[in-house]
Every structure is written in C-alpha cells, then in structure tokens.
C-alpha cells in the first residue's frame, strides 16, 4: 500500500487515499471517510447527522473503527474474514475503491454488511472491495452502520425518549448512500447507477430501505443475497426489547442510558439477546415499523408500486441453515420436529393443524431426503426451517416485485462446500464468490474452492457488475439471464454448470400441500 498522491475534493472536504495492487491492476482506495457526526453523547440513539465539513486534506489511508459490538459472541469468526479488533461508537465512516486510471462513468456498487443486525463492519477482510473494483471496472464503496442496541432499539416511548429514532442503523445506511450518490462522480462513478448490494442482514437492510420515502432518488438498483425477510419487529415487540435492555442496563430513562460506558452497553445488549431468544426464540434489535423510514413491513411494501423503478436481483443459497444446524436430542428429536412443523403450519393457516397434516409435511421432506446424507430428524428440521424462513420468503419477495412491475431477477446458489459436504450450500458461502475473497483467512480451504468455484465466482461478479451497469445481469460468462416473471419464475441456478431454470422451487412448495406455501 502506498500514497496515491491523488486528492479527491468531496462535498465535505478533500481526501487523500492510497494505492494498492491487485491481480487485476492497481486500485486507489479511500478508507475511513466520515459521513456522519459521531453518534455519541446526546446523539446516542438518534438519527445520524451529516458530518461537519473539514478543512485541509483528510488522510483516508486506514479504515475507521467498526460499530460497537461484542467481539467474542457465539458465532464470532464462524465465517472466515469477519473478525474486527477495533470497535467504537464513533463509527460512521465509509470506504471507496476505484481503478487507478482516469476513469469516469463507472457503475457504483455499495456493499452493506450482514451480521444479524448485531455484528459486522466494513473493515472486515472478507468485504474488501479492491479486487472487485479492479476486475469489473466499477466503483465499490462500503458503509458502516450502527448495530445492536445502538442501531436497532426503539426508545421513543420510553422516559426521556423524545428525539430518539428507531432504526438508527437504517438511517446510517441511507445517509451513507446519500453521501456516495453526491460524490460518486468525483471518484469516477455514475451516480445514476448506484446499486446497493449486501448479504443476510445487509440484504435485509436494503430490503427495509426499499420502502423508505424518496429512496428512488438515491438508489437505482438492489442486489439482495439471502435477505432475512421476516425480521421486522412490531412496535410492541420493540418496546419489550427496550424495556428488557433498560432493566439489564440498570437505567430508568434514556438520559441514564446515555451515561453508560460502551462496555456497559455491550454487556446489556448480550444479556438482552440471550433473554429474548430464550423467551421468544428470536433475536432482538431488528428493524421496526416506525411510520416514517419503515412505514410498513417490507413484505407489504413490495406488493405495492413503491420503489418500482428500483431494479432487483435477489436469491439465496440452497441449504441456508446447515451452517447453524444443531443436533436434536436423540430421545426427543421426533417430538421436536413434530412441534416445529406444527408451529409452521399453524402460522400459515391460522389454525391448529391436524396430525395428518403434520405427518404429510414431514413425510414429504423425508421422501425428498432419501438417497442423501441428510436423513436424521435434525437434518429434516434444518431443511424445513431453511425453506420456511429463507427460500420461500425470498421467492415471495421476487413474486411481489415482479407482480408490481419492478424489473426483477432471481438466482438459487447451489455450489456446495467441497471441504465439508455436510454443510452443503450454506448461508454466506456465496460471499467469497461475489467479492473475490477466496484468498482471505482460509476461505479457500474452508469450502474447498476449486477451479469450478473460481469460474462460478467470476460469473457471479460479472453478473453483479452487469446488473449494476444496466439492470440486466446477462453476461458472456453465465449467458442470458431471463427476467423473473410470475408466469415462469425463471431463476438462474448458480453452480458448476450455471443455467436458468423454470420455477426450481416448485417441489419445495408442493411439500406443504394443502397447508400452503408460496402460491403456485
């Protein structure tokens, strides 16, 4: 890494980046650019404010701190390249990568990290945008946003909560997108192509912002990889989370919360997450319907014409939840599977299911698993939960967008881990393919990446960049990619031999028979 000698005049001041070499050429990178005032003190729990313009030239040679979070949680480091050693409340910075030539009019791709709205950061090695920028000749940016209690706790109804905001993390991302849109051309990009892309909670962040008033003035396209679709909290649940957190923090009002040290915030957040998960089986600190930035749940928004002019590319992996599978107790596995399937059916139908309905669904999944290595009750439950919580909801989103008239494309990622076949095409396996990060922290060994993986990665990155450039992911590497329409549900199967397929999830939907799935 060396001084680029290049200074870019942004809307808020001058920045000087550095130059890095990649296998595809030299890249200018600008790291740690502030876009919001430090959200500390009286600004804690408030929507972000645009950064105050600075004088002189800002040294943009190093990442800023990642958002405050627990750095030793149960899933920390499960995904290689997602560990940070620097966290802070003062985290509202962004990063930009662009080829070192005299470029202009390049597509602009903004990465939004995941992490269950509890963890994540733009400095993670897995998310470095230098290679993607050089290989695909695009401007890549990434944005920090607050996570956990500081980013996704609604204190508006609590004592002293006047002036606080729900969804601070979403507000952070929107402010970052607005900064990038205003400055893209100064880095060689075309703001009219601004494309947000992200995975898991990052995709969920994009999903929630699609309903934000005026978002079409900033965002042109959206790529959502494995979005958590049904992660929106009701105001009632959000209020319960806030009260639980305040109790764990020993605070009776927002003023007292603002006096807490960062370490106390993290400790109360961890305790609240454990308690809420034990009570309700769901994680707290998620986006909430707030009547403004998130006017209604995304599944309702996307049925309407809201943001219909934003092109959408969406999909997931074939075996999302195998990464998190826990073996059920051998002597109770059948009962647990039965109870979980019963709950899913009841949620779909609004009524208690009959034994025959439950057995019919379980039987369909057992039959589908015949001849595979995934036949235990734990395996069956993981398959059920993957379909119910990820694959079917993702297809519903594609249906809603296509039905509303938005230009929509869908994919199903099926390349399976060669190092640990039991994990299959697990949640987040697609990250190094999309970001060219096989070289990071043992990813190549983690999944057994081979020549087919390298070729698929090139195909994905080319398609993602083509979509950002024109709204159509068709490329010479993957070939024509048909638009997703309700009458055919054409979906690109991403695997060693990628090809479009008509309605590839039809069998999964049929397993639920009369108790319902995605409309046939």
Nearby residues of 469 by Cβ (< 8 Å), 6 or more positions away: 107, 138, 193
Give φ, ψ of 163 to 5 degrees: 90, -10
Give, in order, the Cα–Cα distances in Å from 292 to each of 12, 166, 296. Answer: 27, 10, 9
The pLDDT of residue 74 is: 58
Q: Percent of the chain, pLDDT > 70?
A: 96
Taking residues 246-260, report their average pLDDT.
96
Nearby residues of 399 by Cβ (< 8 Å), 6 or more positions away: 486, 489, 518, 519
Nearby residues of 72 by Cβ (< 8 Å), 6 or more positions away: none
The reply to whether domains 2-193+233-285 and 320-515 share a CATH topology is: yes
Query: CA angle 334-339-345, nearest 5°?
Result: 125
Nearest one of 458, 470, 425 to 221, comparing CA atoms: 470
Q: Is the CATH number 3.40.50.1820 carried by domain 320-515?
A: yes
The tokens 């199903």 sit on which residue? 412
Nearby residues of 199 by Cβ (< 8 Å), 6 or more positions away: 113, 114, 225, 226, 428, 430, 431, 434
Highest mean pLDDT, choosing among 311-325, 349-363, 475-489: 475-489
The pLDDT of residue 513 is: 65
Nearby residues of 397 by Cβ (< 8 Å), 6 or more positions away: 207, 224, 227, 229, 298, 299, 302, 314
Q: In a 10 Å sphere around its CB, with 0-12 CB exposed, 13-18 middle and 19+ buried, how is residue 271 labelled?
A: middle
Judge whether 91 and 64 are in contact, CB under 8 Å.
Answer: yes
Radius of gyration of the chain (CA): 22
Judge whether 156 and 473 are in contact, CB under 8 Å.
Answer: no
Using CA atoms, how far apart are residues 402 and 314, in angstroms rounded to an integer? 11
DSSP state at residue 327: P
Nearest one of 116, 63, 93, 85 to 269, comparing CA atoms: 116
Nearest one of 445, 448, 444, 427 to 436, comparing CA atoms: 444
The pLDDT of residue 227 is: 95
Q: What is the pLDDT of residues 388-415, one digit of tens each?
A: 989 999 999 999 999 999 999 999 999 9
Give φ, ψ of 412 to 5 degrees: -135, 110
Active-site residue numbers?
A: 200, 320, 427
Domain ranges in the chain are 2-193+233-285, 320-515
Using CA atoms, how far apart are residues 77 and 474, in angstroms rounded to an integer? 34
The pLDDT of residue 250 is: 96
Using CA atoms, how far apart are residues 347 and 334, in angstroms rounded to an integer? 20
Homologous superfamily of 2-193+233-285 in CATH? Alpha/Beta hydrolase fold, catalytic domain (3.40.50.1820)
Nearest one of 454, 434, 435 to 444, comparing CA atoms: 454
Alpha-helical segments (H) within 387-471: 392-404, 431-435, 443-447, 451-470
Nearest one of 421, 403, 415, 422 to 451, comparing CA atoms: 415
Q: What is the pLDDT of residues 298-338, one digit of tens each?
A: 989 888 888 899 999 999 999 999 888 777 777 788 888 99
Q: What is the pLDDT of residues 429-474, one digit of tens each?
A: 999 999 999 999 789 998 988 999 999 999 999 999 999 999 999 9
First-to-last alpha carbon distance for the chain, in angstroms, is 54
């Amino acid at each position: 890494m060396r001084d680029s000698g290049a200074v870019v005049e942004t809307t808020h001041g001058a920045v000087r980046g550095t130059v890095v070499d990649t296998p595809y050429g030299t890249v200018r990178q600008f790291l740690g650019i502030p876009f919001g005032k430090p959200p500390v003190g009286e600004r804690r729990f408030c929507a972000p404010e645009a950064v105050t313009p600075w004088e002189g030239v800002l040294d943009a040679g190093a990442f800023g701190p990642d958002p405050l979070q627990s750095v030793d949680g149960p899933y920390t480091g499960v995904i290689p390249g997602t560990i940070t050693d620097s966290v802070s409340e003062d985290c509202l910075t962004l990063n930009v990568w662009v080829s070192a030539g005299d470029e202009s009019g390049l597509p602009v791709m903004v990465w939004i990290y995941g992490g269950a709205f509890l963890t994540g950061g733009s400095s993670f090695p897995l998310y470095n945008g230098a290679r993607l920028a050089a290989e695909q000749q695009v401007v890549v940016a990434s944005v920090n946003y607050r996570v956990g209690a500081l980013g996704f706790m609604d204190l508006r109804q609590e004592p002293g909560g006047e002036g606080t905001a729900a969804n601070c993390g979403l507000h952070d991302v929107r402010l970052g997108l607005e900064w990038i849109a205003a400055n893209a051309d100064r880095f060689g990009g075309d703001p009219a192509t601004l494309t947000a892309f992200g995975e898991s909670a990052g995709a969920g962040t994009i999903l929630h912002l699609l309903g934000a008033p005026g978002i079409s003035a900033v965002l042109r396209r959206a790529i959502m990889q494995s979005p958590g679709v049904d992660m929106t909290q009701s105001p009632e649940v959000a209020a319960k989370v806030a009260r639980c957190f305040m109790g764990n923090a020993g605070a009776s009002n927002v003023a007292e919360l603002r006096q807490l040290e960062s370490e106390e915030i993290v400790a109360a957040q961890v305790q609240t997450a454990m308690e809420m998960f034990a009570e309700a089986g769901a994680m707290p600190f998620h986006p909430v319907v707030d009547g403004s930035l998130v006017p209604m749940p995304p599944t309702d928004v996307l049925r309407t014409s809201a943001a219909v002019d934003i092109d959408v590319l969406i999909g997931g992996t074939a075996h999302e939840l195998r990464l998190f599978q826990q073996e059920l107790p051998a002597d109770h596995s059948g009962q647990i599977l039965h109870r979980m399937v019963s709950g899913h059916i009841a949620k779909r139908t609004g009524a208690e299911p009959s034994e025959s309905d439950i057995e019919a669904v379980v039987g369909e999944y057992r039959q589908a698993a015949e001849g595979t290595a995934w036949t235990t009750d734990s395996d069956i439950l993981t398959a059920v939960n993957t379909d119910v919580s990820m694959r079917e909801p993702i297809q519903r989103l594609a249906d809603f967008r296509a039905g509303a008239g938005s230009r929509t494309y869908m994919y199903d990622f099926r390349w399976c881990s060669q190092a640990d076949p039991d994990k299959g095409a697990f949640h987040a396996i697609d990250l190094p393919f999309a970001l060219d990060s096989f070289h990071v922290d043992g990813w190549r060994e983690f999944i057994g990446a081979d020549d087919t993986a390298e070729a698929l990665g090139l195909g994905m990155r080319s398609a993602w960049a083509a979509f950002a450039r024109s709204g159509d992911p068709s490329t010479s590497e993957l070939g024509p990619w048909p638009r997703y329409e309700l009458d055919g549900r054409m979906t690109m199967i991403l695997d060693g031999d990628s090809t479009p397929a008509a309605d590839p999830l039809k069998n999964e939907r049929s397993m639920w028979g009369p108790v319902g799935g995605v409309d046939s």
